[in-house]
Amino acid sequence: MQAQSQRESMKIAVIGQGYVGLPLSLLFVNKGFHVFGIDLDHRKIESLLQGKSYLPDVTDKEIADSNQSGRFVSTSRYDSVSEAEAIIICVPTPLNSSHLPDLTILERAVAGTAKFLRKGHSVILESSTYPGTTREIVQPILEKESGLAAGTDFYLGYSPERIDPGNETYKVENIPKLISGITPACIEKISNLYARAFQKVVSVSSPEVAEMSKLLENSHRLINISFINEIATICDALNIDVWEVIEAAKTKPFGFTPYYPGPGIGGHCIPVDPLYLQWKAQQEGISSKFIQLSDEINRSVPSYLASRVSALLQKHSAPANANVLIYGVTYKKDVNDVRESPVLDLIVQLQASGYSVSYHDPYVPSITLADTIYNSVDIDESSLRNAHCVIIATDHSVIPIHDILAYAPLIYDSRNITAGLSGSGKVYRIGTGN
Amino acid sequence: MQAQSQRESMKIAVIGQGYVGLPLSLLFVNKGFHVFGIDLDHRKIESLLQGKSYLPDVTDKEIADSNQSGRFVSTSRYDSVSEAEAIIICVPTPLNSSHLPDLTILERAVAGTAKFLRKGHSVILESSTYPGTTREIVQPILEKESGLAAGTDFYLGYSPERIDPGNETYKVENIPKLISGITPACIEKISNLYARAFQKVVSVSSPEVAEMSKLLENSHRLINISFINEIATICDALNIDVWEVIEAAKTKPFGFTPYYPGPGIGGHCIPVDPLYLQWKAQQEGISSKFIQLSDEINRSVPSYLASRVSALLQKHSAPANANVLIYGVTYKKDVNDVRESPVLDLIVQLQASGYSVSYHDPYVPSITLADTIYNSVDIDESSLRNAHCVIIATDHSVIPIHDILAYAPLIYDSRNITAGLSGSGKVYRIGTGN
């Protein structure tokens, strides 16, 4: 009962109510915490207050239930920080136009927190960022603004978010939670906090190790997916089916992990985080040639796809201004997120080649590219027949693949969902030659 | 009983009695086959006839038992091919001095087989090689020499060896066996043969898919290990312990597979096979930038290690001609194989820097480098104290780590086996800074 009442009374603030902060907030609410969900985006707060979700992984009901519990307060005001005992920062850490780390949003969130910092507070950063950020960026801002000392007056640490949108097996609660702190007391305090919500908490010796491990995880993915995309181009040239090759290699029970080709990697993490590591390495006068190469190859996939499609259109005697219909514009299946989506670049490239490009995505009603607004078109017999080529760019679970196969005269499949299927028109898959 | 007697009576020839062919031969003997183990290396045949193993994974007893069964005949003569029903080719496919595929040994083995080829024979290639080898190299030699037609008169296919020397869990029999053939009849024939010896046989649609899958498996490893070696250099620069970072990242239950830094990758497969793929890609006018980069980085690790050790020796005021003792020269632990071992390059580099280099390896009595013969020295209190630096290059299970820690004044550990341990002298681990 002691523990229970203590748990119920604890208040935390989660700054940033995006794909990381919102599920985290709801988890803590479910565990009995009072949570202030803070976001400067008024539309998000409005939506939360109305019990409406803006994330595919979060249901309206989960938000409504949290609201009804009386322990979830969503707000755009930082002053609720002063009421909380712990502040968790989950704001975006994007790249600027030169592909360099842009910590502006993070710095503002930290400064906003610092104003209300009190003795005994815990501050935990969850945003993916380069090693050293917690100690070299966050700590000085907090200390300067508040006049308090990290490690003495307040607790400070880093715990990388590991959310995988769309993953049905691993959600916030059952993904092991790495935590760190700038002193042993910080580690203990932060570990105790997270242990109340997460199934498994693993502490590491320093924020730098925790920061680096997140970048390693995502760099590992960037490199492996970029490599298999390169292999797909080689298989195209050799007329070998890369998908069958991967299935074959997968039968080896050790030493091999399958990754799959596609239109390139997008999203807020995999294409971005490695460049944070690259930037930090470059500050030390070295660099990762692997990250550089992976970034280059990843950015080149859309133009490779565009050139394959263009060659196919010519082969099939389509007009120079052929209609190209793209299914799916998000960076992966079953999400509504187009950040860094390679499909956007694919559209731009095809448009520049003179094709008339349209798209359908059940989760994205419209996109804006180079000042042009594209609205998702209906996908039906008429639009499919009218397209000289249909490109399967994202394989949402709801894709009407049998309609596409039945009506599209030419299909270019970048996701291998047509494997083993045939259509009334010709079907090509990336990495299989022809 | 039918199946049993059929099995007992079947004769096969295995050409090449190295780390692939010998375990394969013994497996087939154990399954009741008569096996002709053919190798042109008279020392190997002599050793087999005496019941003595030259591979750490094969015991003398296994060879002696096979000899005593009367169903294992080791020989240097190809004419026993004519007595066999199936011929399995397991010969080395190395690189030449320009790092290009050298199929000379393979071509000779195929030509030797062709002389004795009969109708109804099955010929299976197991050597790792670029896609197209079975159809473009092996088939023409067999057909021209024998006057027989592959797919009609004899069966032909490719089945990549997947042996992992030193692996206690996965040995020949329980590693799923990929097989392929140039016709459906070839696939069926070869599948039936291997199914009598292997726990699981998986057939793929073409020899090219099987050839490519093996190269993908090993390219995947080369790239991942080279990447983590690059990350180790970044961690050195950032003073972050790469080993702790990997342990932390490993706690993520999806999307990450751990690989570990070391002195570089050696052996007959991982550094070699990807260059076979590279060569083939280049024939098509393209290339793998990932393989090129991985090869470059892998070849640079020994000089990185040498420079780290050199800096440490200076830091610890060792003389310019300091004694450096290297533990382990094989390309991985618990094997006696120094092919492509990066440790050989490390020795050359240290020697060139003016150090007096000696080595100890319980499995390698001597090595020859640039016309100089090095004999393995004893590793004891005297030799350890006498070394200004001991480099742990290979972590054989029998390494006397406590002696090394007790007596060596300075240790550079490239395998992280000193993690958490301390010695009387200073201990450095790769990828941890300092």
My answer on whether A45 and A163 are in the same domain is yes
pLDDT at A3 over 90: no
Residue of chain B minimizing CA distance to A242: B209
* Minimum mean pLDDT range among A161-170, A183-192, B12-21, B393-402: A161-170
Q: In what order do the strands lie in the sheet with B122-125?
A: B72-75, B34-38, B11-15, B86-89, B122-125, B155-158
* Core vs surface per residue B84-114: b (16+ CB within 10 A) or e: bbbbbbbbbbebeeeeebbbebbeebbebbb
For every residue of B370-432, DSSP letters joined together read TTEEEEPPP-SHHHHHH-SEEEE----TT--HHHHHHH-SEEEESS-TTTT---SSEEEETTS
A1 at interface of B, judged by CB pairs closer than 8 A: no
A251, A282, A294, A301: which to substitute to probe chain B, counting the most B Cβ within 10 Å? A251
- A283 CB within 8 Å of a chain B CB: no
Q: Which domain holds residue B44?
A: 2-205
At B137, the amino acid letter reads I
Query: Is B17 within 8 Å of B44 (Cβ atoms)?
Result: yes
User: Are A273 and A128 contacting, i.e. CB atoms less than 8 angstroms apart?
Assistant: yes
- Which amino acid, one-letter code, is at B416? N
The neighbour count for residue B60, using CB atoms within 10 Å, is 12
Same domain, A169 and A303: no
Which helix (H) or strand (E) is B369 found in, with range? strand B366-369
Calculate Rg over the CA atoms of chain A. 24
B245 touches chain A (CB under 8 A): yes
> With an 8 Å Cβ cutoff, is B233 touching chain A?
yes
How far apart are alpha carbons B223 and A224 in whole angstroms?
8
Q: For residue B161, give both structure tokens.
A: 């060896």
Give the residue among B25, B213, B15 at the shortest CA–CA distance from B113: B15
Is the same domain home to A378 and A332? yes
Spatial separation of the C-alpha atoms in residues A142 and A89, rounded to whole Å = 13
pLDDT band at B3 (very low <50, low <70, confident <90, very high): very low
- Token pair, residue A75, equals 């707000």
Neighbours of B49 (CB within 10 A): 13
| Among A185, A205, A225, residue at a domain's last position | A205
**In A, which residues are within 8 Å of B136 by CB distance?**
none
CB B365 within 8 A of CB B375: yes
Which residues on B lie below 8 Å from A285 (Cβ)?
237
Q: What is the pLDDT of residue B268?
A: 86
Across chain B, mean pLDDT equals: 96
Q: How many residue pairs bridge chain A and chain B with CB atoms within 8 Å of each other?
A: 178
Are A199 and A160 in the same domain? yes
Distance between CA atoms of A158 and A204, rounded to whole angstroms?
10
Residue of B176, B252, B293 lying closest to A253 (CB–CB): B176
Mutate to test the interface with A, among B179, B227, B229, B279 (most CBs of A within 10 A): B227
Residues A21 and A133 in one domain: yes
**What are the tokens at A206?**
């320093």
Structural domain ending residue among the three candidates B181, B205, B229: B205
Rounded mean pLDDT, B355-369 = 97
Cα–Cα distance between A185 and A405 in angstroms, integer? 61
* Residues A180 and A263 placed together within one structural domain of the fold: no
> Which two structure tokens, joined as six digits, stand for A260?
């799959």
CA distances from A337 to A57, A103, A361 (A): 12, 21, 11
pLDDT band at B116 (very low <50, low <70, confident <90, very high): very high
Which helix (H) or strand (E) segment holds residue A315: the answer is helix A289-315
pLDDT at A268: 86
pLDDT for the residue A2: 42
Task: Indicate yes or no: CB of A249 within 8 angstroms of CB of B281.
Answer: no
Measured in residues, chain B has a length of 434
Residues A110 and A220 in one domain: no
- Tell me, what DSSP letter sits at residue B391? E
Q: Are residues B227 and B101 in the same domain?
A: no
Residues A181-227: tens digit of each pLDDT: 999 999 999 999 999 999 999 999 999 999 999 999 999 999 999 99
d(CA A237, CA B101): 19
A158 chain-B contacts, CB cut-off 8 A: none
CB atoms within 10 A of CB B389: 25
B54 interface with A at CB cutoff 8 Å:
no
Same domain, residue pair A23 and A84? yes
Predicted pLDDT of residue A7: 47
Residues of B in contact with A157 (CB under 8 A): none
Interface of A with B in 149-208 (CB under 8 A): 162, 164, 167, 169-170, 175-176, 178, 200, 202, 204-206, 208
CB contact under 8 Å between A217 and B167, yes or no, is: no
Q: Which residues 286-305 of chain B have a CB within 8 Å of chain A?
A: 286, 288-290, 293, 297
Q: Measured between alpha carbons, how far is B349 from B301 in angstroms, rounded to an integer?
A: 11
Strands (E) across B108-245 are located at 122-125, 155-158, 177-179, 201-203
User: What tens digit of pLDDT does each residue of B364-390 get?
Assistant: 999 999 889 999 999 999 999 999 999
Residue at A24: amino acid letter: L
Query: Which chain A residue has the Cα nearest residue B279?
Result: A234
Interface with chain B: mutation pick from A219, A256, A275, A292, highest number of B CBs within 10 Å: A256
Query: How many separate domains does chain B show?
Result: 2
Cα A122–A125–A128 angle (5° rounding)?
170
- CA separation for the pair A351, A353 (Å, rounded): 5
**A100 at interface of B, judged by CB pairs closer than 8 A:** no
Give yes or no for residue B7 having a pLDDT over 60.
Answer: no
Going by pLDDT thresholds of 50, 70 and 90, the confidence category of residue B1 is very low
Q: B 131-150 residues with CB below 8 A of A?
A: 131-132
Flag whether pLDDT at A330 surpasses 50. Answer: yes
Please give the pLDDT value at position B166. 85
The pLDDT, as a whole number, for residue B165 is: 85
Q: Tokens 């480099």 belong to which residue?
A: B391
Please write the tens of the pLDDT for every residue from B259-316.
Answer: 999 999 998 899 999 999 999 999 999 999 999 999 999 999 999 999 999 999 999 9
B271 plus B338 within the same structural domain: yes
Pair (A194, A230) in one structural domain: no
Which of B189, B205, B221 terminates a domain? The answer is B205
**Residue of A133, A164, A209, A279 to mutate, interface with B, max B Cβ within 10 Å:** A209
For residue A287, what is the domain's CATH number?
3.40.50.720
A22 plus A116 within the same structural domain = yes
